[in-house]
Amino acid sequence: MSAALSHRDLHKEKVVQQHLVERLIASQGYGRRSPDDHDRGLSLDKELVLEFLTATQADEWAKLVDHYAGQAEQTLFDQLARALKDRGTLEVLRHGIKLVPGIKFSLCFFEPASALNPELVERYQANILSVIEEVEYSQKNGNRIDVVLYVNGLPVATLELKNKLTGTTHKHAEKQYRQDRSPNGEPLLTFKRGALVHFAVDQEYVTMTTRLRNGKTFFLPFNRGKNGAGNRDIEGEFPIAYLYADQPEGKAVFGRDVLLAIIGRFIHLNELGVMIFPRFQQLDAVLKLIAHAKANGAGHNYLIQHSAGSGKSNTIGWTAHQAVNLHTENDEPVFHTAIIVTDRLVLDRQLQRTVSDLEQTPGVVRKIDGTSKQLREAIERGARIIITTIQKFSTEHLQVVSGQHDRRFAVIVDEAHGSQSGRSAQALADALSRRDETDSTNGSLEDVILDYQKSRGPQPNISYFAFTATPRNVTLERFGVTGPDGTPQPFHLYSMRQAIEEKFILDVLQNYMTYKAYYALEKAVEEEPEFKTNKAQRKVARFAQLHPTAIAQKVEVIVEHFRRHVMQEMNGQAKAMVVTSSREAALRYHRAISDYVESQGYPMGVLVAFSGELEWNGTTFTEAEINGFAETELPRQFDDAGYHVLVVAEKYQTGFDQPKLCAMYVDRKLANLQAVQTLSRLNRTAPNKEQTFILDFQNSIEDIQAAFSPFFETTSLEANSDPNQIYELQERLKGFGILDASEIERFSQLYFARRLTSQDRIEIERLLTNAVDRFKAEEEDARKEEFRQLLKSYQRFYAFLAQVVSLSDSDLEKLYSYAAWLSRMLPSREEPEDIEVTDDMLSLQAFKVEESAFGSASLLPGDQQKLQPISEFAAKPFTDPEAKSLTEIIQAFNHKHGTQFTETDFLKFEAVKNEVLDEDMLATLKNNPPDVSERAFNQAFFRGAIRAFQREKEMQNIILTDAEARERVFALMFARALREAREGKSAA
């Protein structure tokens, strides 16, 4: 134990170093060793290697001594040095070494799955952890490393420590590693051969690397965070005490249990030869998830909110592998199988590779990249880890899977969004918890229905581990844990703010430029066409946006901006993505960019990405034909230096990891999650990548900031959704006179029977036809549409609610099942007849695009907007002033015209407003001052109101003739539309 520090020593650089070492010795059981104990040539503490082997493997040692008389130690260290050079420290620690004749030595014993075998526990406790300060490692000069940590005499970690009070920080330690710690010819610092990880540390901040490459060495942050970057204060300790001292939130990183777990279960070499060491948030998340599952068993939900670009694939892989190796104290598996599900139609190849890289035992991982039959076989045969798409659970093969309720599953959800409250998610739960038919209840019909309802909720044999950077309101309520205020929170958080401040990801909003386009359109036909529907109006807008003149001007802006501001990034390796609104738009942009760069003689390669076949101007196009290689080759080809720009339509806007992307050019509307996920393609860091650029032709800076705001720090809910809203929906549906209680009851008797006969099916369709006929008999199109919307809202809200709340009401389940059938049988909504808009009817007389805003759109600490709970269904609720205004309007109508209109009559205007409030109108309301947008809204609303009330002549006449009444109604509906546009929608 070193002597206590005097006051005059407190500011010396070694204070942090000495404190860390003393705490490791005092609280973590490390042994202090002398610098002379480190053998420079072998990079070992030979004495401790021998102590460990002779104490734990005496029989093998005796064989060695007997066979190599007088040469046992020399032979051992010769073979150990060879193994370290050939296989590396990690492999030697995990798998030991062998010597002739059949002598096998383990160099480390890892924690057993349970404590039932005392011999395994004793071996684990026999591991020797030690520390040496001021290690003279170099065989060339007198260079020293501040601190080296050893396991059984093998070095596993080096640390350079600095003291901020002396003006030195972890950055100085990083510089020291880069400039003065060359790994060439130095066993301790040689990649794979020497220490597994190297830390740069001051008393507040930690970074690490697994490979020293002189000036190219790349360090990653290794911090707990304090809202943003860095480490929160620890009473009586340095903020970095989590490295060397146990905390209430978890054990010390360098403590026996965690350090040996990292070596045994976390570190791995990926397919590119990169040694992956977990960052703190990855390590912390996995350890806490596994600890909670071990203590509490299956049947729990976990939401892990980790920023995009934070290494989610590795965290998922570690969680899966450790979940299937997790045992109770009685040596029972906590989970028999881990199933990793993604809502993408094609398995994420990066995720597949990562999970497979972690596979220490061949055959553990099954990738279901074929048919759903493969998935069924993998489940029924008890595969340990399965990777699949969630859609496969909705197929017929999975509907016959049963008898799995006695097995326990860890379902790990990659990007948990809306799909987890839908039909595929329910099919997944059914397949993993469905009992054999012989186990089915023999109770009453009500018991059967309540069992169905219960099956929609949490299942005791399934735990969900849901990963996402951008949880929606339903994701929080479905998977979150209840926080102090009663609202759901993530189980584990690594925020976008922390990732940006730590420079682990880039702030994609740092350089945001918006452009505004101005069009002058004229008709190219003599007659005066009158467009009645929004569809026709959108066709006109599309004509303008995709006109060759418009695209040509935008392409010039894109290419010249890329060449002047982006191309030189990353030493000329920078790439860009152009985000378009449709496959045809992508094709047109690809052609226009290709033509422009060719005409200018610019050496720029352009690729395009879209799904399926595209018919355009009588020719069929595919992505592969245009690019000249298979779709699967695109990520690799785009990485090549010959390609600079990728034009996309939906494809690659999410889940595409290309660190060389430095710029994005956006010509489509983006909102909420889509905006965050699309623009986050730019956030990956890479050598010499300092900044990103976004040029946006469609969205405002304010729109984008509003989209990012809920996910910048901890995503939270303003309040929980009120489950009693399900009864309000039920009553509203009954009020239309379309549903019949006796028919729903009879439907339920047939539907929930053990087996449906063909005669039962005929009767079910007859019952539903009655409701369809009543729906068709409804004269008001607005009421039909409102019923249709409410029916869908009921289904969505019920499917969500049944997953998080015990409802215990069979009537709700009956209506849900009935509604699912009825929705499919309702006739499609009839669009009013309209003139077919063709390109030859229109002419673009003038077009201009100019910069409208430029600067930083970056969010600041505290720029956090809470998500709203589910609170509206088909219509946004009236505020008190709106309700008062509505009442006054109704009274004025009735007094002036001698009518008896009610609030129900006026709610028909709400349906008109909903029809008018499409994507284009929302954009108009959000991006223009009210005096401009109100005119556009009123024109559209007037046409909609006349159509809606064509069968109610009295109401129509009042709208046409009473300007004062019309203006009051229109003003109210405009105010509501403006509120919805600016607040955004959170409807079910």
CA 733 and chain centroid, separation: 35
CB atoms within 10 A of CB 189: 24
The tokens of 893 are what? 């109508």
Higher pLDDT, 979 or 141: 141
User: What are 124-160's pLDDT values in tens digits?
Assistant: 999 999 999 999 999 888 899 999 999 999 999 999 9
Per the CB < 8 A criterion, the answer to whether 945 and 909 are in contact is yes
pLDDT for 337: 96
| C-alpha to C-alpha distance for 792 and 306, rounded to whole angstroms | 32
- The pLDDT tens digits of the residues spanning 316-343 come to 999 999 999 999 988 999 999 999 998 7
CA dihedral for 768, 774, 779, 783, sign (positive or negative): negative
What is the per-residue pLDDT for 988? 34
Which tops the pLDDT comparison, 916 or 985? 916
What is the secondary structure of 932-982 as a DSSP string? HHHHHHHHHHHHHHHHHTTT-HHHHHHHHH-HHHHHHHHHHHHHHHHHHHH
For residue 246, the 8-state DSSP code is -
Residue 2 is predicted with a pLDDT of 40
Query: Is residue 207 within 8 Å of 221, Cβ to Cβ?
Result: yes
- The letter for the amino acid at 500 is I
Pick from 509, 420, 407: nearest CA to 467: 420
pTM of the predicted model as reported, rounded to 2 decimal places: 0.83
d(Cα 588, Cα 548) in Å, to the nearest integer? 8
What is the rounded CA–CA span in Å between residue 734 and residue 739?
A: 6
Average pLDDT in the chain: 87
| Position 714 pLDDT exceeds 50 | yes
* Average of per-residue pLDDT across 275-297: 96
Q: Which residue has the higher pLDDT, 875 or 692?
A: 692
Task: Specify burial of residue 179 (Cβ count, 10 A radius: 0-12, 13-18, 19+).
Answer: exposed
pLDDT at 944 over 90: no
Strands 144-151 and 129-136: antiparallel
Closest CA to 552 of 522, 524, 588: 588
Rg of the chain, C-alpha, whole Å: 33
Taking residues 104-129, what's their average pLDDT? Answer: 94
All structural domains of the chain: 7-263 (no CATH), 278-494 (3.40.50.300), 512-711 (3.40.50.300), 875-983 (no CATH)
Confidence (pLDDT) at 348: 67
Distance CA 553, CA 539 (A): 21
Q: What angle do CA 720, 722, 723 make, to 5 degrees?
A: 120
Asked if residue 955 has pLDDT above 80, the reply is no
Q: How many residues does the chain have?
A: 988
Lowest average pLDDT, out of 516-520, 681-685, 962-966, 974-978, goes to 516-520
Say if CB 402 and CB 435 are below 8 A apart. Answer: yes
The answer to whether residues 800 and 831 touch, using CB atoms and an 8 Å cutoff, is no
Confidence of residue 5 (pLDDT cuts 50, 70, 90): very low
Residue scoring higher pLDDT (885 or 956): 956
642-672 pLDDT, tens per residue? 999 999 998 887 778 899 999 999 999 988 8
Per DSSP, the three-state class of 223 is coil
- Give the closest residue to 901 by CA, choosing from 888, 889, 890: 890
Q: What is the SS3 string spanning 247-269?
A: ECCECCCCCHHHHHHHHHHHCEE
**Pairing outcome for strands 197-201 and 206-209:** antiparallel
Q: Is residue 288 within 8 Å of residue 698, measured between CB atoms?
A: no
Assess whether pLDDT exceeds 90 at residue 282.
Answer: yes
606 Cβ neighbours under 8 A, 6+ residues apart: 590, 593, 594, 597, 643, 644, 645, 646, 647
Determine the average pLDDT of the residues in 94-109: 96
> Any residues with CB less than 8 A from the CB of 517 and at least 6 apart, and which?
545, 550, 554, 697, 847, 848, 849
DSSP H/E element including 157: strand 154-161
**What are the start-end ranges of the E strands in 290-431?**
301-306, 337-342, 365-367, 385-389, 409-414
Angle formed by the axes of helices 903-916 and 963-983, nearest 10°: 60
The answer to whether residue 527 scores a pLDDT higher than 50 is: yes
pLDDT score, position 898: 65
CA 434 – CA 375 distance, rounded (Å): 16
Q: What is the pLDDT, as a whole number, of residue 11? A: 56
> Of 545 and 888, which is predicted with more confidence?
545
Strands (E), 57-153: 97-99, 103-105, 129-136, 144-151
Q: pLDDT per residue over 549-597, tens digit each? A: 889 999 999 999 999 999 999 999 999 999 999 999 999 999 999 999 9
**Above pLDDT 90, what percent of the chain?**
56
Q: What is the pLDDT of residue 478?
A: 92
- Per-residue pLDDT of 213-245, as tens digits, reads 999 999 999 999 998 999 999 999 999 999 999
Is-contact 284 492, C-beta < 8 A? yes
Q: In one letter, which amino acid is 459?
A: Q
More confident residue, 271 or 28: 28
Instruction: Give the H/E segment covering residue 575.
Output: strand 575-580
- Looking at residue 345, its pLDDT comes to 56
CB contact at 8 A, 322 and 394: no
* Percentage of the chain exceeding pLDDT 70: 87
pLDDT in tens, 29-85: 999 999 999 999 999 999 999 999 999 999 999 999 999 988 999 999 999 999 999
CB within 8 A of 19, min separation 6: which ones?
Answer: 238
Closest by Cα among 222, 433, 412, 221 to 322: 412
Alpha helices in 381-422 (DSSP H): 396-399
Distance of CA 707 to the CA centre of its chain: 15
Mean pLDDT on 533-541:
63
* Band (985; pLDDT cuts 50, 70, 90): very low
CA-CA distance, 490 to 467, in Å (whole number)?
A: 10
Q: Is 21 exposed, middle or buried (0-12, 13-18, 19+ CB in 10 A)?
A: buried
pLDDT tens digits for range 605-632: 999 999 889 998 889 999 999 999 999 8
Does the pLDDT value for residue 193 go beyond 60?
yes
- Please say if the pLDDT value at position 837 is more than 70: no
Convert the pLDDT of each residue in 860-883 to its tens digit. 888 888 888 887 676 555 566 666
Q: Rounded to the nearest 5 degrees, what angle is found at the Cα of 827, between the Cα atoms of 824 and 828?
A: 95
pLDDT attached to residue 872: 67
Cα(660)–Cα(652) distance, rounded to whole angstroms? 14
516-545 burial by CB neighbour count: b if 16+ within 10 A, else e?
Answer: ebebebeeeeeeeeeebbbebbebbebbbb
